[in-house]
């Protein structure tokens, strides 16, 4: 069983729609959770971080964490073509959230 699992996609949504990206993790001791966006050939860029159960909103992005079910999700409202990228879920078991385990990423395609 992979430590961090994501559907590879691609997830296709029309412009203006809500994109929902999901991630499950296996280690119940995980403390910190992150979503990174990676454009092709580029380095990952931090989008959201979440540490406690519930929702966390930042602009068009909402991260949701459910530790009991061991899943974390990312919602992107009003999706734009520029949101088309691969979204990586990353999990850390240490409170210093330094050592990250990444999922394989979900490719999102937003069509105009």
Partner 1 sequence: GAVVSQHPSWVICKSGTSVKIECRSLDFQATTMFWYRQFPKQSLMLMATSNEGSKATYEQGVEKDKFLINHASLTLSTLTVTSAHPEDSSFYICSARDSNSPLHFGNGTRLTVT
CB nearer to partner 1: give 29 or 41. 41
Q: Classify residue 104 as exposed, middle or buried by CB count within 10 Å of its CB (0-12, 13-18, 19+).
A: middle
Q: How far is the CB of 80 from partner 1 (least distance, A)?
A: 22
- Which range touches partner 1 (CB under 8 A), out of 16-24, 34-42, 55-63, 64-72? 34-42
SS3 assignment, position 90? strand
- Which range touches partner 1 (CB under 8 A), out of 37-45, 53-61, 63-71, 72-80? 37-45
Considering only residues 83-102, where is the footprint of partner 1 by CB under 8 A?
88, 97-102
Number of helical H runs and strand E runs in the chain: 0, 11
SS3 assignment, position 49? strand
């Amino acid at each position: 069983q992979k430590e961090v699992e994501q559907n590879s996609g691609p997830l296709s949504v029309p412009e203006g729609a809500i994109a929902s990206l999901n991630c499950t993790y296996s280690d119940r001791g995980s403390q910190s959770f992150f979503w990174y966006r990676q454009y092709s050939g580029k380095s990952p860029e931090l989008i959201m971080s979440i540490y406690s159960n519930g929702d966390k909103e930042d602009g068009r992005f909402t991260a949701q964490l459910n530790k009991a079910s061991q899943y974390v999700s990312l919602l992107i409202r009003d999706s734009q073509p520029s949101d088309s990228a691969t979204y990586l879920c990353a999990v850390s078991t240490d409170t210093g959230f330094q050592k990250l385990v990444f999922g394989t990423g979900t490719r999102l395609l937003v069509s105009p």
